[in-house]
């Protein structure tokens, strides 16, 4: 019963807010609860009457046999009749007991007790009277002893056995003993009077024993009942999220198992995995209490849009899951869109307006999987794609996603090990002065030589490193290596290192770079950090602090991939960039033409005015070099000059240049 109530809670979370309020909400008072308890205890006590039917059978067989033997010894017809009556009652009781199982809810406790009582009393009375009859008619001693001993033994034994119901226990004892005692007194012999007195004394003694047994039995049943209820409650708590009152991970698993058991060929289900975008910022900026209230509010809204029979769960920090039956894919799309709208609707917490966005991954049964695990995997994958695809989106699973994931998981596992195993190295690509043709800078580009997969491009593993946070360790390693190698180059050659936004926002980011410079003994002026526009759109505060701290010691900043992102000129004005790198799509992309040429010209003109270097990326042909030079770029980078090369080749390029210079000087 506890189980089914719990399920209904899971399925309709919006209607059952918090556990603590449950009793009051259902309107059950303390008294009703204790009555329910005693009703259950009573039921268990009555059930104990029906337990161990073998002891009843043995009692009945012994008694009936004694009556038959007595009848045979004495030759008294009355005793044959008594044996027959006892047999009929015994058979009737067995039949009734077989027909009335205490396990069946259909048989009320009262009717079970009544049927037992009738049988028990009539058998006891018949037996007591038969024994009394042998005394009254002065039968042979062996007959009297056989029947009296039998009746007393039965009465005492059965009263202990049935102590679970005191009325029955005492009634049976009285009905067997009293007729015998009365018969003893009727005869009036001193011996019989003594026997009668003994039997009467036996009654209060047995009642006291039966009462004791009853108390112990009742208390232990009540205790077991209490601990069962406690265990039920603990189970509900263990499956409930304290912040939102929704199911937690364990609760979701339980509900999913239950739902999956009821699934047939026609069932359709949707699993929507919801991840609040950048919720950490809400916690960091406004504090955890506000964060918790937002989560509770989200929980309420999700419960509101989840169809009946669905489950809403909170799955870790800022992730939620809606799991519900659907009629078709269209309905799943509708629910997902409702979920999205509900979360986007601004929150009001303490009068403050707050906006939250979410990414959603959706998987469907049976389309994407037939078991809960597969559905979870598919929704997780779809969510991952939603987040990578720019957040704030809904993605339905499709099979191409799994291939990506397998590769991503492999990379994730191996990336940490790769750092230790020396599988990563840094290559250097020159950035050349378009006027003189001389190398001004080398851009450090990381390479991963995987023992099985071969060379992996940074585009494949940098996003994974960012996603998993490995980028911080990886980035520090790259900066340290690059600085160490750059320190061996001529003074005027600088090194450019790419930085991910995540790396910059990590605590102690600036310190990590300062340490790398110090350990390599590289002048901070020779380090240039390449950052992309996305950095400024996402976060301003820590980025500004980072740029300021490093600019102060002379580190320079370049704006990478310019033209691919938001291309707001605002931050070019507010941050001290010394260089703008025009993305290679303007040089060699599919849409290169008059428009891109005009853009390069405008950027170059702005650079010249502001005293910034303008680099054209991705130069592969002499024509492209000429074009960007004409457009006003002063630096160039691309395969036309050189691909990214290992450190010894970079050193060789520099040595060649110096030789050339020396030759020119001597000429």
459 binds, among Ca ion, ligand C2E, none (CB under 5 to 8 A by kind): ligand C2E
Give the SS3 label for residue 439. strand
462 binds, among Ca ion, ligand C2E, none (CB under 5 to 8 A by kind): ligand C2E
Report d(CA 148, CA 150) in Å as an integer. 5
- Closer residue to ligand C2E in complex, CB, 300/450: 450
Residues 112-171 binding ligand C2E (CB under 6 A) are none
365 binds, among ligand C2E, Ca ion, none (CB under 5 to 8 A by kind): none
- Binding-site size, ligand C2E (CB under 6 A): 24
- Tell me if 430 sits within 8 A of 441, measured CB to CB: yes
Q: Identify which range of 85-93, 229-237, 455-463, 544-552 contacts ligand C2E by CB under 6 A.
A: 455-463
- Closer residue to ligand C2E in complex, CB, 185/640: 640
SS (H, E, C) 76-103: CHHHHHHHHHHHHHHHHHHHHHHHCCCC
Q: How far is the CB of 496 from ligand C2E (least distance, A)?
A: 9
- Closer residue to ligand C2E in complex, CB, 457/525: 457
458 binds, among ligand C2E, Ca ion, none (CB under 5 to 8 A by kind): ligand C2E
Q: How far is the CB of 636 from ligand C2E (least distance, A)?
A: 9
Report d(CA 164, CA 233) in Å as an integer. 28
**Residues contacting residue 423 through CB under 8 Å, at least 6 positions apart:** 448, 449, 450, 451
**Contact mark string toward ligand C2E, 529..568, x via CB under 6 A:** -x-----------------------------xx-------
Residues that bind Ca ion (CB under 5 A): 498, 530, 560-561, 617
Q: How far is the CB of 639 from ligand C2E (least distance, A)?
A: 4
Residue of 346, 414, 441, 389 whose CA lies nearest to 650: 441
Number of C-beta neighbours around residue 607 at 10 A:
24
The pair of three-digit structure tokens given for residue 239, joined into one six-digit string? 């499956």
Q: How far is the CB of 612 from ligand C2E (least distance, A)?
A: 18
Residue 462 binds to ligand C2E (criterion: CB under 6 A): yes
Among 445, 480, 485, 625, the residue binding ligand C2E under the rule CB under 6 A is: 445
457 binds, among ligand C2E, Ca ion, none (CB under 5 to 8 A by kind): ligand C2E
Beta strand pairing call for 439-450 and 347-349: unpaired
Residue 280 binds to ligand C2E (criterion: CB under 6 A): no
Q: How far is the CB of 400 from ligand C2E (least distance, A)?
A: 23
Residue 429 binds to ligand C2E (criterion: CB under 6 A): yes
- Closer residue to Ca ion in complex, CB, 47/585: 585
Residue 644 binds to ligand C2E (criterion: CB under 6 A): yes
Among 162, 306, 441, 500, the residue binding ligand C2E under the rule CB under 6 A is: 500
Residue 494 binds to ligand C2E (criterion: CB under 6 A): no
Residue of 76, 91, 93, 81 whose CA lies nearest to 136: 76
- Tell me if 205 sits within 8 A of 177, measured CB to CB: no
Beta strand pairing call for 577-582 and 454-456: unpaired
Among 102, 196, 361, 618, the residue binding ligand C2E under the rule CB under 6 A is: 618
Crossing angle of the two packed helices 2-11 and 249-261, in degrees rounded to 10: 100
Residue 195 binds to ligand C2E (criterion: CB under 6 A): no
Report d(CA 33, CA 317) in Å as an integer. 37
Which residue pairs, CB below 8 angstroms and at least 24 apart, start in 484-490? 484/519, 484/520, 484/522, 485/426, 485/428, 485/647, 485/650, 486/442, 486/520, 486/522, 486/526, 486/527, 487/520, 487/521, 487/522, 488/651, 489/442, 489/650, 489/651, 489/654, 490/654, 490/658
Residue of 49, 167, 158, 154 whose CA lies nearest to 97: 49
- Site of interaction with ligand C2E (CB under 6 A): 429, 444-446, 457-459, 462, 475, 478, 498-500, 530, 560-561, 584, 618-620, 637-639, 644
């Amino acid at each position: 019963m506890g189980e089914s109530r719990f399920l209904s809670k899971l399925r309709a979370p919006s209607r059952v807010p918090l556990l603590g309020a449950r009793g009051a909400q259902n309107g059950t008072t303390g008294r009703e609860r204790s009555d329910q308890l005693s009703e259950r205890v009573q039921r268990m006590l009555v059930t104990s009457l029906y337990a161990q039917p073998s002891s009843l059978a043995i009692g009945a067989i012994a008694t009936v046999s004694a009556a038959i033997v007595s009848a045979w010894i004495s030759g008294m017809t009355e005793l044959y009749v008594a044996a027959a009556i006892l047999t009929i009652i015994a058979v009737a009781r067995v039949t009734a007991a077989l027909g009335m199982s205490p396990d069946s809810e259909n048989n009320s406790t009262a009717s079970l007790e009544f049927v037992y009582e009738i049988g028990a009393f009539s058998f006891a009375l018949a037996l007591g009277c038969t024994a009394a009859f042998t005394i009254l008619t002065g039968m042979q001693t062996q007959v009297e002893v056989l029947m009296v001993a039998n009746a007393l033994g039965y009465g005492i034994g059965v009263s202990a056995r049935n102590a679970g119901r005191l009325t029955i226990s005492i009634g049976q004892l009285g009905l067997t003993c009293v007729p015998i005692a009365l018969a003893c007194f009727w005869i009036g012999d001193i011996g019989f009077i003594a026997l009668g007195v003994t039997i009467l004394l036996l009654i209060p003694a047995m009642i006291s024993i039966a009462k004791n047994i009853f108390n112990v039995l009742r208390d232990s049943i009540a205790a077991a009942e209490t601990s069962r209820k406690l265990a039920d409650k603990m189970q509900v708590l263990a499956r409930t999220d304290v912040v939102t009152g929704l199911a937690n991970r364990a609760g979701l698993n339980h509900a999913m198992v239950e739902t999956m058991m009821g699934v047939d060929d026609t069932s359709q289900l949707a699993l929507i995995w919801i991840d609040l975008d950048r919720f950490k910022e809400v916690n960091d900026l406004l504090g955890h209490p506000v964060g918790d209230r937002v989560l509770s509010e989200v929980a309420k809204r999700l419960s509101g849009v989840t169809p009946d029979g669905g489950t809403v769960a909170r799955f870790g920090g800022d992730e939620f899951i809606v799991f519900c039956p659907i009629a078709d894919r269209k309905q799943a799309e509708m629910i997902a869109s409702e979920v999205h709208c509900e979360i986007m609707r601004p929150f009001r917490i303490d009068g403050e307006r707050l906006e939250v966005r979410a990414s959603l991954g959706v998987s469907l049964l049976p389309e994407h999987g037939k078991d809960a695990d597969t559905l979870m995997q598919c929704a997780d994958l779809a969510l991952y794609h939603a987040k990578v695809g720019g957040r704030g989106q809904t993605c339905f699973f499709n099979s191409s996603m799994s291939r990506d994931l397998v590769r991503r998981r492999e990379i994730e596992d191996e990336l940490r090990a790769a750092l230790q195993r020396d599988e990563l190295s840094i290559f250097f690509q020159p950035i050349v002065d378009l006027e003189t043709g001389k190398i001004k800078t080398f851009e450090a580009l990381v390479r991963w030589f995987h023992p099985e997969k071969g060379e992996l491009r940074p585009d494949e593993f940098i996003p994974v490193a960012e996603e998993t946070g490995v980028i911080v360790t990886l980035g520090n390693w790259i900066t340290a290596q690059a600085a160490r190698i750059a320190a061996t180059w001529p003074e005027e050659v600088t090194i450019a290192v790419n930085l991910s936004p995540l790396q910059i926002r990590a605590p102690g980011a600036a310190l990590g770079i300062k340490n790398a410079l110090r350990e390599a003994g590289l002048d901070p002026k020779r380090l240039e950090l390449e950052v992309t526009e996305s950095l400024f759109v996402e976060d301003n505060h820590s980025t500004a602090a980072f740029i300021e701290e490093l600019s102060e010691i002379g580190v320079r900043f370049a704006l990478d991939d310019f033209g691919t992102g938001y291309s707001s000129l605002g931050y070019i004005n507010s941050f001290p960039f010394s260089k703008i790198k025009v993305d290679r799509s303007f040089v060699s992309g599919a849409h290169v033409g008059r428009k891109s040429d005009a853009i390069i010209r405008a950027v170059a003109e702005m650079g010249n005015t502001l005293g910034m270097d303008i680099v054209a990326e991705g130069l592969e042909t002499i024509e492209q070099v000429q074009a960007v030079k004409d457009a006003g770029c002063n630096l160039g980078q691309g395969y036309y000059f050189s691909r990214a090369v290992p450190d010894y080749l970079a050193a060789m390029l520099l040595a060649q240049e110096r030789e050339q210079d020396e030759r020119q000087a001597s000429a």
